[in-house]
């Protein structure tokens, strides 16, 4: 009943929304924005429209929220004049007149009629028509352009902690195989003339044959024709000669500057262009070539400034009938301390994309697994990457090993090539003043995810009918084991090899396309939800608590689950330090999923208040039998003191997701009614997407500033880009093992001493250079003055006052030069300088504070 009614109500407004083709420009500095979730009620019919509600609240209607049917965006002038000066300034919610008015409706006399203009309705109908009203906060979303490396980021990690001890021997290096000239053969077969193609080892690897995407078979069948991949990122240099021909303007939009085309405008807006180049660089005489050179790319720009949840929700569904795949290399901070999931509008948008995107087959959301490996961050602490609706990709270096930055978790489906072991990804770059710009230093998990997005474009060309779950089935079937000696691989009960580092392995493009060709579509989704089981047991220090749950054949059959795919498990655990908790789930046949492994830098005291983990490791296994959850404490002996209880295992629940046994009984997952998790009051997107969680200084300005403070992959990777001894080789989840106290740390004092010494040396060097600069300036001043005045002024203070401002300026310059010198700015490989785009920062964006006035 709800739907037909609502369609009638919304028709007018849908028409209005259709007229305004692109989203309206936002004015976050002067206005507050609100999202109202509307509902039609039987007795009131279509008497209340979103426009009436907006006016009754003292707001005006802006538009529908993206593709979310009954969500409407309102705006109202900020009530406080002072707050109107800045995007980020807000009036307290208690003092917000719109929210106050909405709150007052609760006490209103429902019989009373109220008139909005000349339209009169009962208060009962007015209040019943609004399910929720939520004020929007604007926040900065994090690109995965930052590698969180504690050794390089003392401001985020003031106390360096020793790496997790290794538990196994070093893995064998693969000996280089004598090369046939694979690259030349491939270039000849497919007529590739791009000058950088020979450097694109991820496409065809001459030195380590097989350590590449295995494209030849795939390209014989598909090049991505007819498939559009959208980069939700910081823009695309859409007129770059490598991208212009494949750029799709219709699926593109700029949510930061509210323009139709996602032009990179800030100095560090290069990320999206580089990712787009990996996917759809055309075959020509510029740079290299993309994985799917005849696919199209569009850009949805959201990472170049703060946006609201409503904008993010709209971005995730932008053009979702033409954009088939969304490549997302961003998410909550990878600092090893946060735990956050998309909620409310953003979660709804993801689900909306799954059910309604791509003509109902489901948008494919490909996410980078995260760059927090060095700080023990894990993709199961990030609700975007551990969602069953996203495809999470880890990185593999050219030798086939896990690069130290790539995060591990049981939600990784597969992996692809990226930077590490001194090699990086060659791709297209934002043009500077000249054209033809390329980069030789793209990397991080940001670079791995677009490669998979590109391969999925090849698969969708041969099989446009694949659903979002078919895409996941195909990735699992077509991934191959890398680093076979890595101790984390386990043969699952279903017979797959799985690793928390690589998922089911490295995606093989030729296998993906050939599997796609012969694939039989899977039946619709079905699921079984185990009710919450209360455990209520104390977790003694350094001990573990088990809880089991037995799934019977009847439960599974009643739930219409034919075969198992994703498993999600929600945990309620109190603990004095979240980073010391390990959570493992054992399937009925011994398949072991590590859901949470200890995190050195996570001191949060809130434990896991109903956090949902996801594991793919039980894919296709028989679910009937006893599932065991093991929660253990890994507080170090010296920290346990007189503690009798390290934490409390309150309870858990388990959901098994799979393919329906009988498709005629299948029904869509009803959001949010079908989930305990979503019926809890969860309203906002991850709070860690707020810049405040990053090092200081950033609250004043956004991207330009952060790019200077934080180490970017282009800067951090070359210096420390080799395997971190002892760390990269351990079995995920076998760390801080109480039985193995502090073994294997011999190299530690040396390495930390070395880095301390390096810091001291660098500091001495800077001081010396500054002193030298000051001295030279002084000499220059003396020389100039002596020319002008004949004699040196006797008054020392006069000199001081005179040249102080000049000295300040030059010393600042010196520091920045030094910074850049250390940063190894070897970005460009083309003959042209790739200076940042010259477009100035848009005036209605927060700009950097003016340099401080000189002191006198």
Residues 190-209 within binding reach of ligand NAG (CB under 6 A): 198, 206
Total residues contacting ligand NAG by CB under 6 A comes to 20
Residues 709/697, Cβ–Cβ less than 8 Å: yes
Cβ count within 10 A of residue 64: 24
Q: How far is the CB of 556 from ligand NAG (least distance, A)?
A: 14
Residues 164/736, Cβ–Cβ less than 8 Å: yes
Q: How far is the CB of 284 from ligand NAG (least distance, A)?
A: 11
* DSSP states of 538-579: EE-TT-EEEEEEEEPHHHHHHTTEEEEEEEEEEEEEEES-GG
Residues 661-680 within binding reach of ligand NAG (CB under 6 A): 662, 664
Residues 205-234 within binding reach of ligand NAG (CB under 6 A): 206
Q: Applying CB under 6 A, does 241 fall inside the site for ligand NAG? A: yes
Q: Applying CB under 6 A, does 544 fall inside the site for ligand NAG? A: yes
Q: How far is the CB of 206 from ligand NAG (least distance, A)?
A: 5
Task: Select from 682, 680, 681, 702 the least CA-distant residue to 691.
Answer: 702
Q: Among the options 271, 473, 566, 715, which is catalytic?
A: 271
Q: How far is the CB of 546 from ligand NAG (least distance, A)?
A: 4
Tokens standing for 210?
């097989």
Q: How far is the CB of 61 from ligand NAG (least distance, A)?
A: 40
Q: Applying CB under 6 A, does 306 fall inside the site for ligand NAG? A: no
Pairing of the two strands 323-328 and 561-575 = unpaired
Nearer to ligand NAG, 437 or 723 (CB): 437
Q: Applying CB under 6 A, does 181 fall inside the site for ligand NAG? A: yes
Q: How far is the CB of 586 from ligand NAG (least distance, A)?
A: 5
Which residue stretch of 65-73, 179-187, 599-607, 779-787 sits at the interface with ligand NAG (rule: CB under 6 A)? 179-187
Nearer to ligand NAG, 653 or 693 (CB): 653
Which residue stretch of 53-61, 181-189, 258-266, 499-507 sits at the interface with ligand NAG (rule: CB under 6 A)? 181-189
Q: Applying CB under 6 A, does 563 fall inside the site for ligand NAG? A: no
Q: Applying CB under 6 A, does 739 fall inside the site for ligand NAG? A: no
Q: How far is the CB of 196 from ligand NAG (least distance, A)?
A: 12
Q: Is the peptide bond before 122 cis (omega within 30 degrees of 0)?
A: no
Q: Applying CB under 6 A, does 628 fall inside the site for ligand NAG? A: yes
Q: Applying CB under 6 A, does 127 fall inside the site for ligand NAG? A: no
Q: Among the options 149, 233, 257, 633, which is catalytic?
A: 233
Q: Residues 7, 20, 179, 758: which binds ligand NAG (CB under 6 A)?
A: 179
User: Which letter, b or e, does each residue of 630-649 get, where b requires 16 or more Cβ atoms within 10 Å of its Cβ?
Assistant: bbbbbbeeeeeeeeeebbbb
Q: Applying CB under 6 A, does 183 fall inside the site for ligand NAG? A: yes
Q: How far is the CB of 361 from ligand NAG (least distance, A)?
A: 22
Q: Applying CB under 6 A, does 644 fall inside the site for ligand NAG? A: no
Task: Select from 502, 496, 565, 481 the least CA-distant residue to 528.
Answer: 565
Q: Residues 355, 586, 671, 781: which binds ligand NAG (CB under 6 A)?
A: 586
Question: Could you tell me if residue 731 is left (phi over 0), alpha (psi between -120 and 50 degrees) or otherwise beta?
Answer: beta
Nearer to ligand NAG, 189 or 239 (CB): 239
Residues 376-435 within binding reach of ligand NAG (CB under 6 A): 434-435
Q: Residues 22, 534, 552, 752: which binds ligand NAG (CB under 6 A)?
A: 534
Residues 796-855 within binding reach of ligand NAG (CB under 6 A): none
Q: Among the options 387, 419, 446, 703, which is catalytic?
A: 446
Nearer to ligand NAG, 586 or 781 (CB): 586
Q: How far is the CB of 248 from ligand NAG (least distance, A)?
A: 17
Q: How far is the CB of 619 from ligand NAG (least distance, A)?
A: 20
Q: Active site includes 233?
A: yes
Q: Applying CB under 6 A, does 549 fall inside the site for ligand NAG? A: no
Residues 53-72 within binding reach of ligand NAG (CB under 6 A): none
Evaluate the CA torsion angle 630, 469, 310, 304 in order and state its sign: positive
Residues 434-493 within binding reach of ligand NAG (CB under 6 A): 434-435
Nearer to ligand NAG, 665 or 819 (CB): 665
Q: How far is the CB of 731 from ligand NAG (least distance, A)?
A: 14
Task: In whole angstroms, give the CA distance from residue 601 to residue 613.
Answer: 20
In three-state secondary structure terms, 599 is coil
Task: In whole angstroms, give the CA distance from residue 536 to residue 717.
Answer: 45
Task: In whole angstroms, give the CA distance from residue 472 to residue 446.
Answer: 19
Q: Residues 104, 605, 642, 843: which binds ligand NAG (CB under 6 A)?
A: 642
Which residue stretch of 175-183, 343-351, 563-571, 701-709 sits at the interface with ligand NAG (rule: CB under 6 A)? 175-183
Task: In whole angstroms, give the CA distance from residue 266 to residue 306.
Answer: 13
Q: Residues 22, 86, 109, 239: which binds ligand NAG (CB under 6 A)?
A: 239
Pairing of the two strands 561-575 and 647-660 = antiparallel
Q: Residue 79, class by beta-carbon neighbours within 10 Å (0-12 exposed, 13-18 middle, 19+ buried)?
A: middle
Q: Applying CB under 6 A, does 184 fall inside the site for ligand NAG? A: yes
* DSSP states of 483-528: STT-TT-EE-TTS-EEBTTTBT-EE-HHHHHHHHHHPPPPPPEEEE
In three-state secondary structure terms, 130 is strand
Residue where the block lists tokens 């490989």: 829
Q: Residue 432, class by beta-carbon neighbours within 10 Å (0-12 exposed, 13-18 middle, 19+ buried)?
A: middle
Evaluate the CA torsion angle 656, 657, 662, 665 in order and state its sign: positive
Q: Up-side HSE of residue 802: CA atoms within 13 Å toward CB?
A: 14
Q: Residues 39, 79, 480, 546: which binds ligand NAG (CB under 6 A)?
A: 546
C-alpha gyration radius of the chain: 28
User: Which letter, b or e, does each residue of 763-779 get, where b requires 16 or more Cβ atoms within 10 Å of its Cβ?
Assistant: eeeeeeebeebeeebee
Task: In whole angstroms, give the CA distance from residue 84 to residue 93.
Answer: 15
Residues contacting residue 791 through CB under 8 Å, at least 6 positions apart: none
- Determine which helix (DSSP H) or strand (DSSP E) holds 582, and give its type and residue range: strand 581-586
Nearer to ligand NAG, 241 or 443 (CB): 241
Q: How far is the CB of 403 from ligand NAG (least distance, A)?
A: 24
Cβ count within 10 A of residue 463: 18
Nearer to ligand NAG, 628 or 835 (CB): 628
Nearer to ligand NAG, 139 or 296 (CB): 296
Which residue stretch of 3-11, 176-184, 467-475, 573-581 sits at the interface with ligand NAG (rule: CB under 6 A)? 176-184
- Hey, which residues are catalytic here? 233, 271, 446
Residues contributing to the site for ligand NAG (CB under 6 A): 179, 181, 183-184, 198, 206, 239, 241, 434-435, 534, 544, 546, 586, 628, 630, 642, 651, 662, 664
């Amino acid at each position: 009943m709800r739907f037909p009614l609502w369609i009638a109500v919304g028709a007018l407004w849908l028409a209005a929304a259709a007229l305004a083709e692109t989203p309206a420009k936002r004015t976050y500095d002067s206005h507050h924005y609100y999202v109202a979730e509307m509902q039609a009620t039987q007795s009131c019919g279509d008497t209340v429209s979103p426009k009436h509600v907006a006016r009754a609240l003292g707001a005006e209607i802006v538009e529908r929220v993206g593709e979310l049917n009954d969500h409407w965006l309102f705006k109202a002038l900020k009530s406080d004049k002072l707050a109107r000066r800045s995007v980020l300034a807000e009036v307290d919610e208690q003092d917000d007149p719109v929210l106050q008015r909405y709150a007052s409706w609760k006490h209103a006399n429902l019989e009373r009629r109220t008139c909005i203009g000349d339209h009169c309705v009962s208060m009962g109908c007015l209040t019943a028509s609004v399910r929720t009203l939520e004020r929007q906060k604007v926040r900065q979303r994090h690109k995965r352009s930052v590698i969180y490396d504690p050794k390089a980021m003392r401001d985020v990690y003031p106390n360096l902690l020793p790496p997790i001890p290794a538990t196994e021997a070093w893995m064998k290096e693969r000996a280089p195989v004598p090369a046939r000239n694979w690259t030349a053969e491939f270039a000849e077969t497919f007529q590739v003339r791009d000058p950088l193609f020979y450097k694109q080892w991820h496409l065809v690897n001459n030195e380590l044959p097989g350590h590449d995407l295995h494209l030849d078979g795939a390209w014989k069948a598909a090049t991505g024709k007819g498939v559009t991949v959208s980069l939700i990122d910081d823009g695309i240099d859409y007129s770059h000669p490598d991208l212009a021909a494949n750029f799709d303007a219709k699926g593109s939009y700029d949510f930061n500057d509210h323009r139709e085309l996602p032009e990179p405008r800030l100095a560090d807006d290069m990320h999206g262009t580089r990712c787009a180049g990996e996917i759809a660089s055309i075959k020509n005489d510029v740079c290299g070539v993309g994985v799917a050179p005849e696919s199209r790319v569009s850009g949805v720009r959201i990472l170049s400034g703060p946006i609201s949840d409503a904008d993010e929700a709209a971005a995730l569904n932008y053009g979702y009938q033409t954009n088939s795949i969304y490549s997302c290399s961003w998410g909550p901070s990878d600092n090893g301390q946060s735990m956050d999931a998309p909620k409310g509008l953003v979660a709804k948008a993801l689900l909306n994309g799954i059910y309604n995107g791509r003509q109902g087959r489901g948008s494919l959301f490909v996410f980078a697994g995260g760059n927090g490996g060095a700080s023990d961050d894990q993709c199961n602490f990030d609700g975007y990457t551990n969602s069953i609706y996203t495809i999470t990709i880890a990185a593999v270096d050219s030798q086939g090993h896990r690069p130290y930055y790539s995060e591990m978790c049981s939600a990784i489906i597969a992996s692809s090539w990226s930077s590490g072991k001194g090699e990086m990804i060659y791709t297209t770059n934002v043009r500077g003043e000249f054209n033809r710009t390329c980069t030789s230093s793209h990397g991080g998990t940001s670079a791995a995810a677009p490669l998979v997005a590109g391969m999925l474009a090849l698969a969708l060309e041969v099989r446009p009918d694949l659903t979002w779950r078919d895409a996941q089935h195909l990735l699992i079937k077509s991934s191959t084991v890398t680093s076979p000696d890595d101790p984390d691989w386990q043969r699952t009960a279903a017979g797959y090899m799985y690793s928390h580092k690589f998922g089911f392995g490295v995606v093989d493009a030729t296998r993906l396309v050939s599997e796609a060709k012969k694939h039989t579509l899977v039946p619709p989704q079905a699921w079984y939800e185990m009710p919450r089981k209360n455990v209520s047991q104390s977790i003694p220090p350094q001990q573990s608590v088990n809880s089991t749950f037995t799934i019977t054949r009847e439960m599974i059959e009643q739930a219409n689950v034919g075969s198992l795919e994703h498993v999600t498990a929600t945990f309620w655990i109190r603990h004095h330090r979240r980073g010391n908790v390990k959570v493992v789930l054992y399937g009925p046949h011994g398949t072991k999923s590590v859901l949470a492994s200890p995190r050195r830098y996570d001191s949060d005291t809130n434990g896991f208040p109903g956090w949902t983990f996801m594991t793919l490791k039980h894919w296709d296994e028989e679910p009937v039998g006893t599932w065991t959850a093991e929660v253990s404490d890994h507080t170090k002996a010296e920290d346990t003191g007189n503690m009798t209880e390290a934490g409390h295992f309150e309870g858990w629940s388990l959901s098994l997701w799979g393919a329906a046994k009988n498709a005629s009984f299948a029904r869509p997952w009803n959001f949010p009614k079908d989930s305990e998790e979503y019926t809890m009051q969860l309203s906002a997107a991850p709070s860690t997407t707020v810049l405040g969680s990053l090092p200081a200084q950033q609250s004043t300005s956004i991207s330009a500033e952060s790019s200077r403070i934080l180490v970017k992959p282009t800067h951090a990777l070359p210096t420390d880009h080799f395997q971190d001894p002892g760390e990269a080789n351990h079995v995920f989840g076998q760390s801080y093992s109480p039985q193995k106290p502090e073994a294997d740390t011999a190299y530690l004092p040396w390495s930390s001493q070395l880095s301390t010494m390096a810091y001291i040396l660098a500091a001495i060097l800077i001081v010396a250079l500054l002193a030298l600069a000051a001295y030279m300036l002084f000499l220059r001043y003396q020389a100039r003055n002596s020319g002008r005045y004949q004699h040196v002024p006797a008054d020392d203070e006069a000199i001081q006052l005179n040249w102080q401002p000049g000295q300040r300026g030059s010393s600042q310059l010196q520091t920045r030069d030094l910074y850049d010198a250390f940063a190894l700015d070897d970005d460009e490989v083309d003959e042209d300088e790739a200076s940042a785009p010259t477009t100035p920062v848009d005036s209605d964006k927060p700009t950097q504070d003016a340099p401080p006035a000189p002191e006198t």
